[in-house]
Amino acid sequence: MSRSGTGRGRGTGRATLGEVAQAAGVSTMTASRTLSQPELVTEATRARVEQAVQALGYVPNRAARALASNRSRVIVALVPSLSNAVFTAVLDGIQDAVDASQYQLLIGITHYSDAEEEKLLRTYLQSDPDGILLPGLSHSAGVRSMLETLSVPVVAMMDLAASPDTLSVGFSQSEAGMALTRHLLAKGYRRIAFVGAQLDERTLRRADGWRQAMQEAGLFDARLEIMTPEPSTVALGAALMQRVLAGLPDCDAVFFCNDDLAHGAIFHCQRAGIPVPGRIAVAGFNDLPASSLMVPSLTTVDTPRYQVGYQAASLLLDTIAGKLPKARRIDLGFTLREREST
Amino acid sequence: MSRSGTGRGRGTGRATLGEVAQAAGVSTMTASRTLSQPELVTEATRARVEQAVQALGYVPNRAARALASNRSRVIVALVPSLSNAVFTAVLDGIQDAVDASQYQLLIGITHYSDAEEEKLLRTYLQSDPDGILLPGLSHSAGVRSMLETLSVPVVAMMDLAASPDTLSVGFSQSEAGMALTRHLLAKGYRRIAFVGAQLDERTLRRADGWRQAMQEAGLFDARLEIMTPEPSTVALGAALMQRVLAGLPDCDAVFFCNDDLAHGAIFHCQRAGIPVPGRIAVAGFNDLPASSLMVPSLTTVDTPRYQVGYQAASLLLDTIAGKLPKARRIDLGFTLREREST
DNA sequence: CTGAAAGCGCTTACAG
DNA sequence: CTGAAAGCGCTTACAG
């Protein structure tokens, strides 16, 4: 015997579309159509169905819809970290774009690990996503082959693809690195160090930009490049600044790959009584909220991360909908913020 | 005619469990069992099925599984904001707990709005969640009635429920507010202002704690309470500090409801040449990463937000699994960090 | 504009 | 330890 007198068998106990249809005196498929394509139905029918929906508190079952329609209406977004304010802004942009659609967003945190990225993607394939948002351009062979097999649209975020085969929304990390370095050169700094942490793809591209600008100026010196795989934090920035001051006494400016490192560096100098930029200039990247307010205010590069998320998600949704995008590679640019610290 | 020669009809084009079963020479249900309860199957069968899974690159279809089993294996987590580092840490904890399970996490951002919270919940009901994580204890009537109708477990995060009917994981916001205020009183400050922004539930509870401590000390003065619904940011902290200095000249200490406000306040004082704590003491809440490193370092309350997320998700998953929790109300406490700014 | 029927890809009592 | 069959709640060509 069924567990209740409603005849719902092993169901959820919630109203089904069939029950809505019955209450409205129409067939299930007419009820279905009323919800998905109301313009194909008489006004009278629509009213009766909508009333039944209200009366029964009907909530459509996504799993059934996905299974029957063979469209999951799911998109997956992978980001490296939530601790990095850059990616929370990207996610905010994605959310806002997706919220306006019928799509459901599945968020995965890769912790900057290729292996985790691959594992997450594999798990999320169970939800049969209609599209995917990924950070950056470089992925493991496993991820690349999964994406090929899948044949759903993929949009790369935060950098620009070289090939037009890849949909991408972002800005040139290397040009931004170059622009900031050139600013420092123009200010007269000569021994400009680059300090990179985490060593994700974007940091490496910024380092490329720094290297190129230094080479162009005839001032490149490999000893000025300080790289560590440790996660980028304020505390690490303080420690690395100490290391620069001790190990590179003639260094007159430091380009930190992220603002949080630069904040730590400035705090360290402040505590040690080292004038910034008098003794040494400090620049960061991303223009985090504190950067314009701290003392000295921080020279940095403002990046359009919310827009990256918003536009990447919009591009993905448009592509899923079969619209031909105006551009397959959307360059949102960046803005140099010259402040007191340089 | 079907759109391909594979006989897969309007399907996804991916291997199904039936195809795996066929390749392994067993029935579909034996294949199903091999994946879900391998201990109920001979080793030989298991090997053949697993080989077929590998060969066909089989990925289970979540929608079909959810529909057939009437268990979505979905849990929903709502948080107010991603800009607030507190909630990204909560989410990290939730993710880590959920990743170890077979559950899929759906994340929603309420932007501190009851209306958005209700809308998100309504949307996520389409996924028929097996459990829900919500920030705080107070929700709109609409949300409360949805939760009652749903009858799935709900865990409140970041504060402690008064009633044992509610599962909750967090700490007492009001006691934390009291503890910090008492620290300031013990240090000899008398005209201690409370500055609250956003005015979410947690900020209001911290204000309650401040008020109670001030009343106990016979020092309460309503003019010392400065509340604004604006979002909490570093820039707002600088502006509010300016307002305190101008409007409350005898104020000797300020308790900001969040560290980012306190950071802005310290930056403002630094820029204006106002000694902290010499002229005025500054305290925050949450112990954000920069707080221990800035100059002066910030007195604040360290909150176990990652653990809140992790334990809340664990409690939810245990409850879904039918395990009786040891406690329905998990108090993770807080830690006062006495530093230079007071 | 509306409907009967098949089917999406799984799982689940129930037998054997 | 393994299987036949029904069913989860929808959508979709195809008719009329």
Relative orientation angle of helices B43-56 and B17-24, to the nearest 10 degrees: 120
Asked if the model's pLDDT at residue B6 lies above 80, the reply is: no
Q: Distance (Å, rounded) from C-alpha B267 to C-alpha A292?
A: 10
Indicate whether B315 and B286 sit together in one domain: no
Cis peptide leading into residue B289 (ω within 30°): no
Q: Name every residue whose Cβ is closer than 8 Å to that of residue B90 and which is 6 or more positions away in sequence.
A: B79, B135, B157, B158, B305, B306, B308, B309, B312
What is the DSSP annotation of A96-161? HHHHTSS-EEEEEE-TT-HHHHHHHHHHHHTT--SEEEEESS---HHHHHHHHHH---EEEEES--
**What is the reported pLDDT for A316?**
96
How far is residue B87's CA from residue A95's CA, in Å, rounded to a whole number?
16
Starting at the earlier edge strand, list the strands of the sheet with A167-170.
A104-109, A74-79, A131-135, A154-158, A167-170, A329-331
Asked if strand C comes closer than 7 Å to B73 Cβ, the answer is: no
* Strand C nucleotides within a 7 Å radius of protein CB atoms: 1-13
Specify the nucleotide whose C1' lies closest to residue A128 (CA).
C9
Q: How is residue A315 written in tokens?
A: 């591009």
**CATH number, position B327:** 3.40.50.2300
Of B39-53, B114-128, B241-255, the poorest mean pLDDT is in: B39-53
Whether residue B163 sits in one domain with residue B239: no
Express each pLDDT in A2-16 by its tens digit.
Answer: 333 333 344 567 899
- The segments of chain A whose pLDDT lies below 70 read 1-12
A86 to B23, B311, B318, B335: CA distances (angstroms): 47, 27, 34, 28
Please report whether residue A10 resides in a domain: no
Closest residue (CA) to C1' of nucleotide D3 is B27
> Are A288 and A235 in a shared domain?
yes
**Set of chain B residues whose Cβ sits within 8 Å of the Cβ of A66:** 63
Residue B40: the pLDDT is 86
> Same domain, yes or no, for B310 and B278?
no
Please indicate, yes or no, if residue A12 is contained in any of the structural domains: no
**Least CB–CB distance from A128: residue in B61, B83, B95:** B61
| pLDDT computed for residue A11 by the predictor | 56
Q: What is the pLDDT of residue B302?
A: 98
The verdict on residue B338 lying in a domain is: no
Q: Concatenated DSSP letters for A239-285?
A: HHHHHHHHH-TT--EEEESSHHHHHHHHHHHHHHT--TTTT-EEE-S
Task: Please compute the mean of the pLDDT values over residues B106-114 and round it to a whole number.
Answer: 96
In the block, which residue shows the tokens 């993905």?
A316
Kindly state whether residue A1 falls inside one of the protein's structural domains.
Answer: no
Helix (H, G, I), strand (E, B) or coil at A333: coil
Contact between residue B203 and residue B196 where contact means Cβ atoms under 8 Å apart: yes
Task: Report the C-alpha gap between A214 and B54 in whole angstroms.
Answer: 51
Element spanning A176, H or E: helix A173-186
Reduce the DSSP state of residue B109 to 3 states and report it.
strand
Cα distance between residue B21 and residue B23, in whole Å:
5
Give the Cβ contact number of residue A127 at 10 Å: 23
What residue ranges in B210-290 does DSSP mark as E strands? Answer: 225-228, 253-256, 281-283
pLDDT at A121: 95
Q: How far is the CA of A26 from the C1' of C3 (A)?
A: 9
Query: Which DSSP state fits B217?
Result: T
Q: Which amino acid is at A220?
A: F
Q: 3-state DSSP: chain B helix, strand, coil percent, rounded to 5? A: 45, 15, 40
Q: Say if residue A231 is in the same domain as residue A184.
A: yes
pLDDT, greater one: A260 or B8: A260
**B131: containing domain:** 73-171+306-333
Do both B91 and B135 map to the same domain? yes
Residue A220 shares a structural domain with residue A325: no
Given this model, what pLDDT does residue A12 score?
63
Evaluate whether B190 touches B250 at the Cβ level (below 8 Å).
Answer: no
Give A260 to chain B, closest Cα distance, Å: 8
pLDDT at B11 over 70: no
Asked if the model's pLDDT at residue B7 lies above 70, the reply is: no
Q: What is the pLDDT of residue A2?
A: 30
Among A67, A268, A276, which would you mutate to test the B interface (most chain B Cβ atoms within 10 Å of its Cβ)? A67
Per the domain annotation, does A270 fall within a domain? Answer: yes
Residue from the list A82, A107, A238 with its beta carbon closest to the beta carbon of B293: A238
Give the domain-ending residue among A60, A83, A114: A60
- pLDDT in the model for residue A10: 47
B277 prior amide bond cis, ω within 30: yes
In a domain, B231, yes or no: yes
Of the pLDDT bands very low, low, confident and very high (cuts 50, 70, 90), residue B314 is very high
Provide the percentage of residues in chain B whose pLDDT is more than 70: 96
Asked if residues A135 and A80 have their Cβ atoms less than 8 Å apart, the reply is: yes
Q: Are B315 and B210 in the same domain?
A: no
Kindly tell me if the per-residue pLDDT of B35 is higher than 80. yes
Amino acid present at A115? A
- The partner residue sitting opposite A293, judged by closest CB among B106, B149, B235, is B235
Residues with CB under 7 A from strand D: A 8-12, 14, 16-18, 28-29, 32-33, 35-36, 58, 60-61, 64-65, 67-69, 71; B 10, 26-30, 33, 40-42, 44-45, 64, 67-68, 70
Does B9 reside within a domain?
Answer: no
The answer to the question of residue A141 being in a domain is yes
Beta strand pairing status for B74-79 and A335-337?
A: unpaired
Same domain, A257 and A235: yes
Q: What is the pLDDT of residue B333?
A: 98
Q: Are residues A248 and A279 in the same domain?
A: yes
Predicted local distance difference test score (pLDDT) of residue A325: 84
Higher pLDDT, B8 or B32: B32
Q: Give pLDDT tens digits for A320-337.
A: 998 988 899 999 999 999
Among A33, A60, A87, the domain-final residue is A60
Domain check: are B44 and B132 in the same one? no
Collapse the DSSP code of A49 into the 3-class scheme (helix H, G, I; strand E, B; otherwise coil) and give the result: helix
Per-residue pLDDT tens for A127-155? 999 999 999 999 999 999 999 888 899 99
Task: Assess whether pLDDT exceeds 80 at residue B3.
Answer: no
Chain A residues within 8 A of B73 when measuring between CB atoms: none
Q: Do B195 and B153 have their domain in common?
A: no
Strand order in the sheet with A225-228: A225-228, A192-197, A253-256, A281-283
Structural domains in chain A (count): 3
Residues contacting A237, CB < 8 A, separation 6+ = A195, A256, A260, A261, A262, A263, A264, A265, A267, A268
Tokens of A318: 């448009």
